[in-house]
Structure 1
């Protein structure tokens, strides 16, 4: 396309849709030719917050801009650019609520508007947000309000502080309820969510009432769950069911369970969570998922024996150990089948004490009146201890390597605190999330870890190849080590000085193997423009603009550049990102 040929109306409108909020407002103010088009083009926004703590006081945050509507020496609107802290205020002819309504509906009430994160907090809820045309929201947080944005598709994640009758909640995919009062089970039972998490405690009566309501619904999909805090035994739910004709006490993955029939193809299972023993799970399952206690050893039948090596991977450790003890025929196979575990914790208390947790079991190896192991089932709180012929560390090593050092072992969450050296002798395993505190001992891994949390910057192949790393330390950052990591994202929760950031940028800019999109985020208070003064070589560095944000750009090669800018969402965070060459544009500060 020749450079002087303008975009068509539809093309220009499509481009406008992906331009950030701040730049669009500049275009609207400076380019009269596209003003009408801009007013009709929908927004794609990262963040929208609406807060009202009293009747005539409203705060709106749209991406990196804050708008305040209030009564002070007349009706006023104050606009703050949070990335530069520039402020502009003007008098308005309307009262704060009317002006806020007009502004919000003008900005968001457009067909096709998409917002990633929405937060609503109202002491006195303005009804005007419900006048907005249906929009698309990915994540929604609602506090103290009955006013909701209309949506045109199910919200991915919703957090609310109470159970309310609302269509948005009925159709949301995942809902978390943070209330501290009693749960309105009648309302919750009407929701069609994939998962519901009640962060307050539900009594056995409430769980039973919810189960009774949901068991009468045949439209709930298999796999939909409710998880709630529940201290009593799950069997107590059975006693509170108003109709026990279709309910029975069963076993699900060696856990006590109450099963309620829904129809010929589905059933409702109520059982204790394998991760948090103080949580109860109510799940819609395929008929026959839970089995009667008298039938729970059917796996040992000869015609099903061939599948034990496959089934063993997904059977929890409790049931597997039970099978290994009770069924000699499968004992040899069980010893070689890898585990698929939810949680492994390892904590070295002292030289003579090691605590290990595997899913819902904890093991304590210590030296007291002889060497001992204490095993506790966290779900039932039953404990067994016995004397052993090895020292605590040798016994812990033997136990851990026997259970985890199996080819194909997968663990979702691993937590290490002052981990002993013997864990490095484990065969490489797959870990999804790793949390490390005060240790230099690591599990060998055979695939990159998804998320790693560490308390210091240390040299480790695990960290070099991890996808996302969060560093929690509050001491000086070792930029030599940090620059060697190949992560998609690194987040430093402590602050980095301009000197440290500049040193990191200088080292990373010499690496041409970092993929586009990889980034580092760190707390950094001084403006980004001062960073260029600390770069040891300023030959390839320049001051630029990126999405209307001040930026420092360092050339890497012909295809990539390193951009350093302030985050538009977390205003005290600095972002160092590898981008395609030309992403940032030159502009004098």
Structure 2
């Protein structure tokens, strides 16, 4: 049997899950040099303060009380496989960076869902990644500089954050969901969001009055056709209270759309702004 060529090997490895690829890597030493250069297709990556999750493989990088040194603990599907002691002078952060860069820093890497839960200073060092869904679960720790978290090859399809900060991934995302932990209107939150290029913006944790003021601002702004602003609420009587009150506040006329009560503002001869339940 002739050895498999690079194009065929690339195609084969690209179809395998991360764990299956690593098993093949260990079983076939002849492919290791090529495998180290072929990008991955990950289902889910999660970066925490001490844990890196890669699909079904979890790697905990921390100080081990039993070993009395910094270690990497490897778990597959929740089952502990092995513990590896780090070199004496290697810090936990350096080990996490080497691990992350080895797997992610490959041109062509695809990630369906990327969750960031812990501050990692090495993330900006990575090459641009192709990410479909991005979840910033650590926005309170976000750096003040613009565009310093993670680079992407194209706009993210779906982005979720819990606070507002400046980052190119947020500005260019197609769809953004902001689940506010602490909403502070005086920080110019809505002014910042107006500069985003997303076609769908969804917010949770915003007071009704602030949402109404933003709708009034939107009604006076040139928006792309199909733009959606979604206000997630927990008000059981929202349909009558909000739409009627909002209609008065933004001076909109009462209409119906798909059997939904609406407040509608005519923006120009061909465009209307509709707020509905």
Shared topology, TM-score over 0.5? Answer: yes
Tell me if 1:466 matches 2:181: no
Between structure 1 and structure 2, the one with the greater Rg is 1
Match of 2:145 in 1: none
CA contact 2:114–2:133 (8 Å) conserved in 1? yes
Give the alignment partner of residue 331 of structure 1, picking from 32, 35, 40.
32
Match of 2:191 in 1: 480
Tell me if 1:393 matches 2:103: no
Deviations 1:299-333 (A, max 9, x none): xx514554112222222222323343444432222
In structure 1, the residue corresponding to 2:182 is in which secondary structure? coil
Structure 1 residues 224-235: aligned runs within 5 Å: none
Tell me if 1:378 matches 2:77: yes
Deviations 1:77-119 (A, max 9, x none): xxxxxxxxxxxxxxxxxxxxxxxxxxxxxxxxxxxxxxxxxxx
Q: 1:383 to 1:328 in 2, by over 3 A?
A: closer
Deviation at 1:420, TM superposition (A): 1.2
Gaps of 5+ in 2: 143-147
Match of 2:112 in 1: 412
Structure 1 distance, partners of 2:23, 2:84, is 17
Question: How large is the RMSD of aligned CA atoms in angstroms?
Answer: 2.7
Match of 2:270 in 1: 559
Deviation at 1:377, TM superposition (A): 1.8
In structure 2, the residue corresponding to 1:385 is in which secondary structure? strand
User: TM-score of the superposition, structure 1-length normalised?
Assistant: 0.40
The size of the alignment, in residue pairs, is: 256
Q: 1:356 to 1:303 in 2, by over 3 A?
A: closer
Match of 2:256 in 1: 546
Deviations 1:51-82 (A, max 9, x none): xxxxxxxxxxxxxxxxxxxxxxxxxxxxxxxx
Give the alignment partner of residue 205 of structure 2, picking from 479, 485, 494.
494
Tell me if 1:315 matches 2:25: no
Structure 1 residues 252-401: aligned runs within 5 Å: 302-348=3-49, 354-368=50-64, 369-378=68-77, 380-388=79-87, 389-401=89-101
User: TM-score of the superposition, structure 2-length normalised?
Assistant: 0.79
CA contact 1:505–1:562 (8 Å) conserved in 2? no
Deviations 1:434-467 (A, max 9, x none): 2321232743222232332222233333223333
CA contact 1:512–1:557 (8 Å) conserved in 2? no
CA contact 1:436–1:455 (8 Å) conserved in 2? yes
Match of 1:527 in 2: 242
Gaps of 5+ in 1: 1-297, 349-353, 536-540, 568-589
Match of 2:226 in 1: 516
Structure 2 distance, partners of 1:379, 1:371, is 21
Structure 1 residues 24-39: aligned runs within 5 Å: none
Q: 1:560 to 1:425 in 2, by over 3 A?
A: farther
Deviations 1:387-413 (A, max 9, x none): 234211121112112211211111122
Greater relative contact order, per chain length (Cα 8 Å cut-off, separation 6+): 2
- Name the structure with the higher strand share: 1
